[in-house]
Structure 1
Amino acid sequence: MKQVLVIISLFLCAFGSAQPKYEGAMGKGLQQLKDAKSADDMTATAAFFERVGEAEKDKWLPYYYAAYANYLTGWMNPKADKDKVAEKTKELVTKAEALSPNNSELFCLRQMTAIQQMTVDPMTRYQSYGAEINANTAKAKQADPTNPRAWFVDAQYWKNVPEAFGGGKATAKKLVEKSLELYKTFKPASPLHPTWGQEEAEKLLASCQ
């Protein structure tokens, strides 16, 4: 019995020491994400989060932030091969989904990545990528109707769709207003969970007036 108690005690000590190490690494990565000023900075941030994910094995957030940072490099570097960036982003999202299926935040990332790929050649890619974009937005809202980012990324997309196809400022305004209502009561599951989007949503609403 004494030996069993010693084993349990050692396990609890190991678990307790692992959590601060993980949280410390994630805090460092989130600070890097905040401070990134260039595509190179963001690429380094994505790589850092991916290493955290590979070390932790059972946590989806490192892969989420690795994917999000990688996605951002596609916009920060005007010469980036957006298809290549998107493939890496999707690879990281897939790893996160294996650990957290039916996750609204991950569906949002898939929607954003599809938009990024569509912008390579909107005229020829609209039909196929448009369907993918809308499917992922619907999944994001269904998985968590209270996630403000699901409504924000939807508004962002429809703002840039021509009015003839149902888009434009009026369509986007209703969606971003819903997003901002949700941001008022939104509480992340932990200090490490995604919180971004409110400032961008406020700017989007102003542009829809």
Structure 2
Amino acid sequence: MKTILFIALFTITGLTHAQTNFEKGMTKAFELWEEGKWDDAENMFERIAKAEEDEWLPNYYIAQMNSLKSWNEKDETVLKAQLEKAQEHLDIAMTKSEEDNAELLVMQAQVYTNWVAYDGATYGMKYAGKVAELYAKAVKLDPTNPRAVFCKADWGMGSAKYFGQDTAPFCKEIEASIELFDTFKPESDFHPNWGKERAEQVLAECK
């Protein structure tokens, strides 16, 4: 049940309005990330997170970066350190977010999935049910969120394949998520806007 997420390029370098320190920092962090300077980007997000006590986005992206780095990690010590860091920053982001946040629920499910993907025999029983619950809650909370709809379907498809069940219903859900991606408008230039490329890949596999 290995899921690989691709980050959509953040087209934020063309912002013309006067930027706050938060916006300048986030813009720089994304630029570093796009350049492949992951450590520098993560360090920048950490500095922003410490300076901006009410902003959940920097902590979210630190969690996402550590989740992404963990998909193909074979060293359990490295994996554990990365996922513990991801969890730490997710926990902080959740305290900063004023209400239930579908994006944070999706990212929490991603981190749990990292554990399952690494060692299903050890972590499947512990986390599989929680992943399904998180995605269901995220979709109920925000049924128009394309990441929630896609990731819920992708997880369901992986489970169906594992148990030898029909995946066709999940393909329809993934197709529906792509329609949501096409109309989705993030709250700001810095809010999550990833997932469409991966959804299109999974849909292509359906066909």
TM-score, normalised to structure 1, is 0.81
Corresponding residue number in structure 2 for 1:34 = 34
Partner residue, 1:67: 63
Q: Is the 8 A contact 2:45 2:62 kept in 1?
A: yes
Corresponding residue to 2:148 among 147, 150, 166: 150
Deviation readout 1:127-168 (Å, 9 max, x if unpaired): 221111011101211221111001121233233224463756
Structure 2 CA distance for partners of 1:142 and 1:123, relative to 1, 3 Å: same
Unaligned runs of 5+ in 1: 1-16
Count of residue pairs brought into register by the alignment: 188
Q: Which one has the bigger helix percentage? A: 1
Give 1:114-193 correspondences, 5 Å limit: 114-163=112-161, 165=163, 169-193=167-191
Distance 1:77 1:121 in 2: 11
Alignment partner of 2:88 out of 72, 91, 94: 91
CA distance in 2, matches of 1:77, 1:124: 16
SS at match of 1:123: helix
Q: Choose the corresponding residue for 1:50, options 46, 49, 63.
A: 46
Q: Return the structure number with greater relative CO, CA threshold 8 A, min gap 6.
A: 2
Q: In the TM superposition, what is the alpha-carbon distance from 1:62 to its structure 2 partner?
A: 0.9
Structure 2 gap ranges (5+): 1-17
Counterparts of 2:167 and 2:42 in 1: how far apart (Å)? 33
Contact 1:183 1:198 in 2 (8 A): yes
Q: Which amino acid aligns with 1:192?
A: F
Q: CA deviation at 1:77?
A: 4.3
Tell me the distance in 2 between the aligned counterparts of 1:21 and 1:145: 33
Mark the CA change 1:77 to 1:126 in structure 2 (over 3 Å): closer, same or farther.
Answer: closer
SS in 2 for 1:119: helix
The structural deviation recorded for 1:125 is: 2.5
Residue type at the aligned position of 1:139? K
Kindly state the Cα deviation for residue 121 of structure 1 after the two structures are TM-superposed. Answer: 1.8
The answer (yes or no) to whether the contact 2:150–2:173 under 8 Å persists in 1 is yes
Aligned-partner residue type, residue 54 of structure 2: D
Q: Secondary structure at the match of 2:186?
A: coil
Evaluate the alpha carbon distance shift between residue 43 and residue 76 of structure 1 in structure 2; reply closer, same or farther with a 3 A threshold.
farther
The worse-fitting range, judged by mean Cα deviation, of 187-196 and 154-163 is 154-163
Could you say which residue in structure 2 is the equivalent of 1:198? 196
Determine helix, strand or coil for the equivalent of 2:51: helix
Cα distance in 2, alignment partners of residues 76 and 44 from structure 1: 21
Do the aligned residues in 2 keep the contact of 1:162 with 1:168 (CA within 8 Å)? yes
